Amino acid sequence: MSDPYSSVPSAQRLPAEWEPQDAILLTWPHQGTDWNWILEEATELYEALATVIADYADVVIAVPQPLVEDVRERLAAMDAPLDYIHIYPCDSNDTWARDHGPITVQTTKGFTLLDFTFNGWGNKFPHDLDNQITRCLYEQQAFPLSDLVHQDWVLEGGSIESDGRGTLLTTASCLLNQNRNPQLSKADIEARLKTAFGVRKINWLHHGYLAGDDTDSHIDTLARLCPDNVIVYTACDDEQDEHYAELKQMEAELRGFSDADGQPYRLLPLPWPGPVMNEEGERLPATYANFLIVNEAVLVPIYELPTDEDALEVITQAFPGYDILGIPCSVLIEQGGSLHCITMQLPEGSVVENILESVYVSE
């Protein structure tokens, strides 16, 4: 039987992250997540992050019901602007909103939340609760201007980059991995991507990885599309480093790419942070590419390293006129991800401009 996705013309478009946004989604850390051993440090980061984001967009937070009031009180104690922070009760396995949250597309009728299947990055981790978060939020009218459509195949937001004009950037090691959609061929996946996101061209990276990454090389740790056909990417200049050969080959691939209109990219390499290890001597995936664009700002993960300032300078070149803010993210990479991984943007027009009051269930 032919793939029904292959013959359906797309009436949808995946906006670029630098297009206007209504809100950013966060899924809050709690004792039931893998953050439990460093829960206070992780929670403090989330509180600071929510407060910063609220200067540029609303914040939608998913958190288990017993913690709703605690989160609200802690944010209030920080003088966070609660009028722009909307808290909803949802159970969760973990906090990687980029991958279990909705991917929002623009249609002729408005916005649609695509609720893809999340399988814990190839069934590596528990995911049953995370896979329900988008629907949980939708049923509480967290996205009242958007429709919800379930997608019966696996896709994570961190695995794709869109320029909003028909080009998608991704990695073969993730999207074509047999632990995601073994029943689909590359042609099937390309057809579905084109239909879902209004894509005319897909640029596949076949090289690049970060030690300590559990995602099978999500694109948002390696290379990011930016305005005006710029790609910011993770580069390694240490010939003795285990990443050197792979990232050099990735760089060569990027140099050969063009967008859907045939236009080449300007490449901006990010500094190499060098080995960052945990207490057990395991390498952590420190990457500056995992930044978040929030309307007029770019929030950049930093790690208390000498290369932090250089990374901020590169991002400044890619986003002239934006507020470039460094966010300390050493605690995040302890669990294998960084700033972009724990957030998901909601485009302007997908959420009511002012959600008057968050809904939550009292005990």
Torsion 334-326-95-124 (CA) sign: negative
Please measure the distance between the N-terminal and C-terminal CA atoms of the chain and give it in whole angstroms. Answer: 50
DSSP string, 144-213: TTEEEEEEEEE--GGGEEE-SSSEEEEEHHHHT-TTT-TT--HHHHHHHHHHHHT-SEEEEE-----TT-
Q: Active-site residue 341, yes or no?
A: yes
Q: Which residues of 346-355 are buried (b: 16+ CB within 10 A; e: fewer)?
A: bbbbbbbeeb
Mention every residue, 6+ apart, whose C-beta is less than 8 A from residue 255: 267
**Residues pairing with 114 in the sheet:** 103, 149
> What tokens does 279 get?
């207490």
β 110-117/103-107 pair status: antiparallel
Q: Which one from 90, 236, 329, 341 is the annotated catalytic residue?
A: 341
Q: Are 335 and 34 spatial neighbours (Cβ–Cβ below 8 Å)?
A: yes
Report the SS3 class of residue 136.
helix
Catalytic residues: 341
